[in-house]
Structure 1
Amino acid sequence: MRNRCASRLALAALAALSLVIATGVFAREAHPPKVTATVTVDRADTDIVRPGEVLTYTVAGVNRGEGTAHRVAITNPVPEGTTYVPGSAAGRGMEIRFSIDGGKSFQSWPIRVRDPRTGRDVEARADRVTHVRWGFTQPLGPGERVAVSYQVRVK
């Protein structure tokens, strides 16, 4: 059996490439907001990860523009080869939602799904989570910073 390992940097790159930041702009502004973000992966010692290890993804955002950003949302995928750790998504003053359909729709946890065997609604398993979205409940002013995080377990 082959030992599956991955580079911590490769996992960070995957998340960074898929990071989506959305802002609501209601009118053309003379000084528009410009929200940017970086993704980092934190874990203990080495650059090699092994099955069962937990990685913490942190997304740090800042409004580098001159205007206030409204309705900001950060969406980050759960990297392939990992499973979301239930209860690990964090962000102060955020509405946190999850997707189990590749980022098409988002719901609060627990997500209810129909069990095809019984026809009953059951709580979706954490391994079905494909994306995490943080919706800001307050505007993000010029120069303001935010940080959100979540954990995944390597399969």
Structure 2
Amino acid sequence: MKRFSFASLGAIALIATVPFINQVPGMAALWHSTSAVAQNVQTQGQIQLRLEAEKQVVVQDQQGKQSQKWQPLKGQTVVQPGNVLRYTLIGENKSDRTVKNLTLNQPIPKGMMYVLKSANITNNAKITYSIDGGRSFVENPTVKVTLPDGKVETKPAPATVYTHIRLQIPSVAAKTIVKASYQTQVR
């Protein structure tokens, strides 16, 4: 069976919707919810993709108890170092056919750092990560570290070196939705 990939569409969706990264630190010109349609020519299956972003904010109730909530990012939004953003990628199969082997690559935007273990997805999907600009993906990235005594050890990669997240979804049934989310932190 031929493998069908939407990898570049996910990357383009994120790159096209994150114009704030190259602007003045602390000020983000963010987007309204956007969508794109991906089509599998072989089966005419269509997946409509939508990328949303939210900023984590701390709120205090009348009793003084603090809690965290997610505030949708719209228009001009101020982000500061340490702020956490949650990206949600929603894929809707609008066709009458199952779409098989859907692969989505999402880059971690420049100026941001992936929040380890924050990725989750509906369905029976596999999540892998890249630390080399999207050239290779593994479930648990590692790096080689040279110790003071000259020995080289392999250790889990730090969050600062993650560059991409890959979501591999075996199938998306007709007329269903798949959601994936992950968090990043402003450096």
TM-score (norm 2): 0.66
* Residue among 133, 138, 145 paired with 1:107: 138
* Residue among 78, 89, 92 paired with 2:108: 78
* Residue among 56, 60, 67 paired with 2:90: 60
Contact 2:39/2:45, CA 8 A, preserved across alignment: no
Contact 1:78/1:152, CA 8 A, preserved across alignment: yes
Tell me, what secondary structure is at the counterpart of 1:127? helix
Answer yes or no: is 1:9 the counterpart of 2:40: no
Give the C-alpha shift of residue 114 in structure 1: 1.6
Q: Hey, what does 1:39 align to over in structure 2?
A: 51
Measured against aligned partners, the alpha-carbon deviations of 1:10-42 in whole angstroms (never above 9, x if no partner) come to 6x89xx8xx9x797x8xx43xx21112111111
Tell me, what secondary structure is at the counterpart of 1:120? strand
Residue identity matched to 2:30: L
Tell me, what secondary structure is at the counterpart of 1:52? coil
Relative to 1, partners in 2 of residues 1:83 and 1:9: Cα closer, same or farther, differing over 3 Å? same
Contact 1:8/1:41, CA 8 A, preserved across alignment: no
Tell me, what secondary structure is at the counterpart of 2:45? coil
Distance 2:98 2:45 in 1: 5
Contact 1:22/1:72, CA 8 A, preserved across alignment: no
Answer yes or no: is 1:91 the counterpart of 2:89: no
Higher relative contact order at CA 8 Å, sep ≥6: structure 1 or structure 2?
1
Relative to 1, partners in 2 of residues 1:113 and 1:103: Cα closer, same or farther, differing over 3 Å? same
Contact 2:39/2:46, CA 8 A, preserved across alignment: no
Distance 1:133 1:9 in 2: 23
Tell me, what secondary structure is at the counterpart of 2:160? helix
Larger radius of gyration: 2
Contact 2:91/2:179, CA 8 A, preserved across alignment: yes
Residue identity matched to 1:96: I
Residue identity matched to 2:160: D
Give the C-alpha shift of residue 135 in structure 1: 1.0
Residue identity matched to 1:34: Q
Q: Which runs of 5+ in 1 are unaligned?
A: none
Distance 1:96 1:5 in 2: 30
TM-score (norm 1): 0.79
Paired residues in the alignment total 141
Give percent identity, aligned residues only: 27
